[in-house]
Amino acid sequence: MLKDITIGQYIARESIIHSLDARMKIILTTILIIALFTINTFNGFGVFSIFILIVILLSKIPFIKVIKGLKPILFLILLTLLIHVFLTKGGNVLWSWRFLSIESEGVYTGFFMVSRIFILILFTSLLTLTTSPLQLTDGIEYVLSPLKRFGVPAAELSMMMTIALRFIPTLLEEAEKIMKAQQARGADFESGNIINRAKSLIPLLVPLFISAFRRADDLALAMESRCYRGGEGRTRLHELEYSYYDFIALSIVLILAVTVYFF
């Protein structure tokens, strides 16, 4: 389960998607999110899904790796589906029992919302899978730079968000090691009801939090010893540069956004 979480992971590949500028990938992801929430038909979702499949193929990332990232949110998807199926009323009654009923409008709305969440997680995970943490930091700082005139610390915010994403896989690996160590000592994380399972996680969470605080302290000391200062005057070893591939990708995404809006 922990290995299936792909948030924050980066998979190095030689592909067109990886070579795109990090700033452009953040802008494209934002445009795609806006376009996704303007879709009103399943036909639009179909066009969007075909585009995402093409992007996955171009990124050379195993499709199974991307799909596994959806496993941790299956509970959220199922819960969303059930809420809409049983609470949204309208259309023909498909099934009823006492105070429960399923109507056609609820089924349509449920699968519509589930499709939107599914596609949203699918293509947003590609941002971290195809962008290194360093490039992502620089890209976020650039995108937030217009807010500096309003007093927003863009450099600090970008660094915090990137460090958070960077340490998600590390903490998951640490949690898995602790879980295996606790299981070797007789701990049971799978049997019993929900309350018992929640209580069994306490021996896992306490050492995990201690390890996280220790890593944060070590990182702060390392940054301070290297005289790290973000923001103005900071130079970079590798400067971000746009290429014609970035503008081609921007044109394709804009065409897609307009297409799914009127589809």
> Structure tokens of 15?
């592909």
Residues 128, 29: Cα–Cα separation, whole Å: 11
What are the pLDDT digits (tens) for 5-27? 566 678 888 999 999 999 999 99
What are the pLDDT digits (tens) for 176-222? 888 888 778 777 767 767 677 767 777 778 888 888 888 888 888 88
- What's the whole-model pTM score? 0.78
Share of the chain above pLDDT 90, in %: 23
Count CB neighbours of 114 within 10 A.
Answer: 18
* C-alpha to C-alpha distances, 43 to 84, 123, 173, nearest whole angstrom: 20, 18, 40
SS3 123: helix
Average pLDDT over residues 159-173: 77
Continuous segment of H or E residues that includes residue 240: none
Q: What is the pLDDT of residue 182?
A: 79
